[in-house]
């Protein structure tokens, strides 16, 4: 027997649910059982009977690569691809067919407890990085699983909450990263999210799982549930969810629904076919007995170096100059926090810490300074201040403890623990120059304390080699090259979703719409602590020679030269934005549309090239139910962050030529702007119908009139009748 259709109904139904926490159901010699395992930044392969989706039980040791917060900050898809391939090798060695990741949800609020697992507040960057991880994983034939589809941007009430989000915001912010991954990287599987979207559970959202995902985007793989996300097996299958994970033992509901005519057997069969297709796809995955633990640790170290972001470096205190007396302070230097909690928790193969790594290279003194559980400890603090006083430079490791952020709950503050901030003040007063190194999965506020530090190195959660990677950067064997993928606001209250997050009463309204992250701050010109895209290096880059060329209709090439004008090798992340200026905001002020990470030696230059197309200018039009490109001016901005634009060119788009239907309810302004409507209306006016000549009218009157639906002029006693409007409408219809 080789086909699903030959199975009994009960056997087919059984295929639509797992056999246990980490395995799919087998069906005789037709479909083999497949092994699934977390997670996005390292394998969490649990062995028998210890299966859980919460990271409670141990798993086999595996390389803990930097979580997405840090990998994303590398802005380096090639590196993400290599990390993906290394993950796949470990997956394969552990008998895993599908890796449950990456997660490509948007960071809507810095409070989301799972931000460490996501790449960015920006959909373009998220999509590019997510696609790179997927192609990396699948390059060895192991399946990837892009998650959590969709609009899963908080942990509070995640299994029930309804994300209330308008269509334009969905299309422009919360769906594009998924779309890019599906179209560019063709993942074998997708995992639906727990939450509801505008009232409907993602697991039974037909538009999402079928019309959009398969119909529009061409997804041809298998959709599985998040662990426990299915509420109604029959509704889920009918909506396009192929596999419930883990099993709830409710296969009989499906059999019953088919027998009662509530569910077509073909739907059950199709889900089985998709499982079989997945099995065939992963059947040829490359087999490995193990992996080179040291080599993978090196990849983790490279990725960690690439992900740390140097926020400030006054007076060039970093890299640490030889001969200076260095104090390393803070428990986090010795006991690193290098990954987040929950289903992505990895048991590492090794673990570096910054204290040992620094101590191996230079002489350092050390004091832990504070307790990780946040309890004040005067003795520890006083000792650290003493050690600081005897040093030229104090490298103080601060950050969030495990208990502060995790999958499953959101933070309520972005502040560092008070005892740590207090210690920083005292250390600064003791006299040394202060370098702060941060460890945190979600953004922490720097405004209250950063004046106490000459340098701040944002180390996020950097995986198992984070400690040595940080030492590489502090000592200057490598230059920092990470860039912020999310804005650090001055205050939590400045965050655009602040009034709405995380909602109440089962709903969270996405009231800020598409103004997420820098789209909000840059549109309003709000001051921020550090902008999207920001990050310093140990060198300086010059931008010059911007050239734009129209290469087709709504297509432009953009070129510029970047030169390393400093003294050291480093990487620059060149960012391309499209920008729209208007008297009042009609769309986000600027949006990232491209980036390139390039490594340059001192004095070296490189020509960087981008292509812009109409899709980069398009906005979602609700009335058209599609993407729309407005005719008119826009600018190309190239820079080192969203607030550090170095080069700019003004361009103009002819638009997409769309001239929508006109009706009597279209305004005078819409009529005049319409290529045919404008003409026929002007013809009518020139025939002396008694209508006023709007174009010569007093500006205030014209301003008023432009917004009035044409048919309404009928009642204004100016000679426009319903018949005339009808005639105009049919003239437009005939072109
Ligand atoms: C998480 C998923 C994870 C799954 C299996 C869920 O709680 O949301 O990201 O893949 O558990 O551990």
Check residues 277 and 698 and name the one with the higher pLDDT: 277
pLDDT digits (tens, 9 = 90+) for 160-184: 999 999 999 999 999 999 999 999 9
List beta partners, residue 31.
27
Claim to verify: residue 687 and residue 601 sit in the same structural domain: no
Has residue 695 got a pLDDT over 80? no
* pLDDT value of residue 639: 98
* pLDDT value of residue 50: 62
Looking at ligand 1, which atom is closest to the CA of residue 194?
Answer: 8
DSSP state of 287: P
Confidence class for position 584, pLDDT limits 50, 70, 90:
confident
Give the residue, out of 157, 226, 246, 342, with the most ligand 1 atoms within 8 A of its beta carbon, to mutate for a pocket test: 226
Burial class of residue 186 (count of CB atoms within 10 Å of its CB; 0-12, 13-18, 19+):
middle
- Please report whether residue 444 resides in a domain: yes
Distance (Å) of CA 257 to CA 139, 232, 260: 40, 11, 5
Has residue 694 got a pLDDT over 90? no
- Please report whether residue 697 resides in a domain: yes
Claim to verify: residue 208 and residue 78 sit in the same structural domain: yes
- Please report whether residue 497 resides in a domain: no
Q: How far apart are the first and last CA of the chain?
A: 61
For the annotated catalytic residues, the residue numbers are: 226
Query: Does 36 sit in the ligand 1 pocket, CB within 6 Å?
Result: no
**Which residues neighbour 6 within 8 Å (Cβ) at sequence distance 6 or greater?**
30
The boundaries of the domain holding residue 342 are 308-480
Claim to verify: residue 51 and residue 137 sit in the same structural domain: yes
- Please report whether residue 17 resides in a domain: no
350 Cα distance to chain centroid: 28
* pLDDT value of residue 703: 85
* pLDDT value of residue 51: 67
- Round the average pLDDT of the chain to a whole number and report it: 96
Looking at ligand 1, which atom is closest to the CA of residue 44?
Answer: 12
Claim to verify: residue 62 and residue 185 sit in the same structural domain: yes
Claim to verify: residue 633 and residue 676 sit in the same structural domain: no
Distance (Å) of CA 671 to CA 272, 476, 675, 728: 53, 63, 8, 10
Q: What is the mean pLDDT of residues 344-373?
A: 97
Query: Does 91 sit in the ligand 1 pocket, CB within 6 Å?
Result: no
Q: Report d(CA 300, CA 294) in Å as an integer.
A: 10
Claim to verify: residue 467 and residue 321 sit in the same structural domain: yes
Q: What pTM did the predictor assign?
A: 0.96
Within 13 Å of residue 129, how many CA atoms lie on the same side as its CB? 33
User: Can you give the CATH number for the domain in which 430 is found?
Assistant: 3.40.50.1700
User: Can you give the CATH number for the domain in which 550 is found?
Assistant: 2.60.40.10
pLDDT digits (tens, 9 = 90+) for 399-443: 999 999 999 999 999 999 999 999 999 999 999 999 999 999 999
Query: Does 341 sit in the ligand 1 pocket, CB within 6 Å?
Result: no
Q: Report d(CA 729, CA 261) in Å as an integer.
A: 48
Give the residue, out of 23, 36, 53, with the most ligand 1 atoms within 8 A of its beta carbon, to mutate for a pocket test: 53
* pLDDT value of residue 697: 79
Distance (Å) of CA 710 to CA 669, 681, 683, 695, 724: 9, 10, 15, 15, 10
* Sheet with 507-509: strands ordered across: 200-201, 196-197, 162-164, 507-509
* pLDDT value of residue 438: 98
- Please report whether residue 509 resides in a domain: no
* pLDDT value of residue 58: 84
Has residue 693 got a pLDDT over 80? no
In degrees, rounded to 5, the angle at the alpha carbon of residue 86 between the alpha carbons of residues 135 and 103 is 55
The 3 state secondary structure assigned to 521-579 is: HHHHCCCEEECCCCCECCCCEEEEEEEEEEEECCEEEEEEEEEECCCCCEEEEEEEEEE
* pLDDT value of residue 690: 65
Has residue 545 got a pLDDT over 90? yes
* pLDDT value of residue 408: 95
- Please report whether residue 248 resides in a domain: no
Claim to verify: residue 474 and residue 343 sit in the same structural domain: yes
Q: Report d(CA 633, CA 639) in Å as an integer.
A: 20
User: Can you give the CATH number for the domain in which 117 is found?
Assistant: 3.20.20.300
Number of H helices, E strands in the chain: 21, 28
Claim to verify: residue 81 and residue 214 sit in the same structural domain: yes
* pLDDT value of residue 553: 97
Taking CA atoms only, the protein residue closest to ligand 1 atom 8 is: 226
Claim to verify: residue 448 and residue 547 sit in the same structural domain: no
Looking at ligand 1, which atom is closest to the CA of residue 39?
Answer: 10
End-of-domain residue from the set 464, 480, 496: 480
CA dihedral sign of residues 152, 156, 160, 166? negative
Claim to verify: residue 336 and residue 446 sit in the same structural domain: yes
Taking CA atoms only, the protein residue closest to ligand 1 atom 5 is: 53
Query: Does 100 sit in the ligand 1 pocket, CB within 6 Å?
Result: yes
| Ligand 1 centroid distance, CA of 53 (Å) | 5
Query: Does 98 sit in the ligand 1 pocket, CB within 6 Å?
Result: no
- Please report whether residue 507 resides in a domain: no
Contact 486, 78 (CB under 8 A): no
> Tokens standing for 717?
């006693």
| Ligand 1 centroid distance, CA of 398 (Å) | 29
Taking CA atoms only, the protein residue closest to ligand 1 atom 7 is: 53
Has residue 1 got a pLDDT over 80? no
pLDDT digits (tens, 9 = 90+) for 443-501: 999 999 999 999 999 999 999 999 999 999 999 999 999 999 999 999 999 999 999 99
In degrees, rounded to 5, the angle at the alpha carbon of residue 154 between the alpha carbons of residues 149 and 157 is 100
| Ligand 1 centroid distance, CA of 224 (Å) | 11
Claim to verify: residue 150 and residue 67 sit in the same structural domain: yes
List beta partners, residue 637.
577, 648
Looking at ligand 1, which atom is closest to the CA of residue 103?
Answer: 9
Has residue 686 got a pLDDT over 90? no
Work out whether strand 200-201 and strand 196-197 pair parallel, antiparallel, or are unpaired: antiparallel
Confidence class for position 699, pLDDT limits 50, 70, 90:
confident
Asked which of 39-43, 135-139, 602-606 is least confident by mean pLDDT, the reply is 39-43
| Ligand 1 centroid distance, CA of 314 (Å) | 42
End-of-domain residue from the set 232, 261, 276: 232
Within 13 Å of residue 3, how many CA atoms lie on the same side as its CB? 4
In degrees, rounded to 5, the angle at the alpha carbon of residue 504 between the alpha carbons of residues 502 and 506 is 105
End-of-domain residue from the set 480, 504, 521: 480
Q: How many domains does the chain have?
A: 4
- Please report whether residue 433 resides in a domain: yes
Claim to verify: residue 59 and residue 204 sit in the same structural domain: yes
| Ligand 1 centroid distance, CA of 227 (Å) | 6
| Ligand 1 centroid distance, CA of 170 (Å) | 23
| Ligand 1 centroid distance, CA of 556 (Å) | 42
């Amino acid at each position: 027997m080789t086909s699903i259709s030959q199975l009994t109904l009960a056997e087919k139904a059984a295929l639509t649910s797992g056999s246990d926490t980490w395995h799919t159901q087998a069906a005789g010699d037709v479909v083999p059982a497949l092994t699934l395992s977390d997670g996005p930044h390292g394998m969490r392969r649990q062995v028998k009977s210890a299966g859980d989706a919460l990271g409670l039980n141990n798993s086999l040791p595996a390389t803990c690569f930097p979580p997405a917060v840090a990998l994303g900050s590398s802005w380096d898809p090639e590196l993400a691809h290599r990390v993906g391939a290394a993950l796949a090798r470990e997956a394969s060695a552990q008998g895993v067919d599908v890796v449950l990741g990456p997660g490509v949800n948007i960071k809507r609020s810095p409070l989301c407890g799972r931000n460490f697992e996501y790449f960015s507040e920006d959909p373009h960057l998220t999509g590019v990085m997510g696609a790179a991880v997927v192609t990396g994983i699948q390059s060895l034939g192991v399946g990837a699983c892009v998650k959590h589809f969709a609009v899963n941007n908080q942990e509070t009430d995640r299994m029930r909450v309804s994300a209330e989000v308008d269509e334009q915001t969905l299309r422009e912010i919360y769906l594009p990263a998924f779309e890019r991954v599906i179209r560019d990287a063709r993942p074998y599987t997708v995992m639906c999210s727990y939450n509801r979207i505008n009232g409907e559970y993602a697991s039974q959202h037909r538009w999402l799982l079928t019309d959009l995902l398969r119909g529009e985007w061409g997804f041809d793989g298998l959709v599985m549930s998040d662990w426990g996300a299915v509420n109604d097996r029959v509704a889920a299958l009918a909506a396009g969810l192929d596999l419930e994970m883990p099993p709830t033992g409710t296969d009989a509901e499906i059999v019953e629904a088919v027998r009662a005519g509530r569910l077509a057997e073909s739907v059950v069969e199709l889900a089985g076919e998709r499982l079989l297709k997945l099995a065939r796809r992963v059947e040829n995955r490359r087999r490995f007995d193990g992996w080179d633990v040291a080599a993978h640790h090196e990849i983790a170290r490279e990725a960690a170096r690439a992900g740390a972001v140097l926020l400030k470096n006054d007076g060039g205190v970093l890299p640490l100059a030889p001969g200076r007396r260095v104090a390393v302070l803070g428990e986090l230097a010795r006991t690193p926090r290098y990954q987040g909690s929950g289903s992505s928790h990895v048991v590492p193969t090794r673990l570096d810490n910054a204290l040992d790594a620094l101590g191996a290279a230079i002489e350092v003194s050390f004091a832990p300074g504070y307790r990780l559980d946040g309890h004040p400890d005067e003795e520890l603090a006083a000792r650290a201040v003493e050690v600081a006083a005897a040093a030229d430079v104090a490298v103080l490791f601060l950050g969030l403890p495990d208990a502060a952020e995790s999958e499953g709950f959101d933070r309520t503050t972005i502040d560092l623990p008070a005892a740590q901030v207090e210690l920083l003040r005292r250390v600064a007063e003791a006299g040394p120059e202060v370098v702060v190194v941060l460890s945190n999965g979600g953004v922490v506020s720097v405004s209250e304390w950063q004046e106490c530090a000459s340098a701040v190195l944002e180390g996020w959660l950097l995986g198992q080699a984070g400690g040595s990677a940080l030492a590489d950067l502090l000592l200057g064997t490598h230059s920092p090259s990470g860039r912020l993928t999310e804005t650090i606001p001055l205050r939590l209250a400045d965050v655009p979703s602040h009034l709405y997050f995380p909602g109440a009463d089962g709903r969270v309204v996405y009231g800020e719409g598409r103004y997420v992250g820098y789209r909000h701050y840059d549109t309003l010109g709000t001051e921020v602590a550090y902008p999207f895209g920001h990050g310093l290096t140990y060198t300086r880059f010059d931008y010059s020679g911007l050239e734009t060329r129209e290469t087709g209709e709504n297509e432009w090439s953009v070129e510029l030269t970047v030169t390393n004008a400093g003294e050291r090798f480093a990487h620059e992340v060149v960012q391309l934005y499209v920008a729209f200026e208007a008297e009042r905001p009609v769309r986000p002020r600027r949006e990232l549309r491209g980036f390139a990470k390039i490594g340059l030696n001192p004095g070296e230059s490189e020509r960087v090239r981008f292509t812009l197309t109409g899709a980069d200018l398009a906005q979602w039009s609700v009335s058209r139910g599609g993407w729309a490109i407005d005719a008119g001016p826009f600018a190309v901005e190239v820079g080192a962050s969203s607030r550090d634009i170095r080069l700019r060119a003004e361009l103009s788009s002819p638009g997409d030529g769309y001239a929508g239907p006109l009706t009597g309810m279209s305004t005078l302004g819409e009529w005049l702007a319409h290529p045919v409507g404008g003409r026929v209306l002007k013809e009518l006016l020139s025939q002396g119908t008694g209508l006023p000549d709007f174009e010569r009218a007093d500006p205030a009157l014209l301003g008023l009139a432009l917004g009035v639906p044409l048919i309404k002029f009928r009642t204004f006693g100016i000679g426009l009748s319903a018949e005339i409007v009808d005639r105009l409408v049919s003239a437009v219809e005939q072109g």
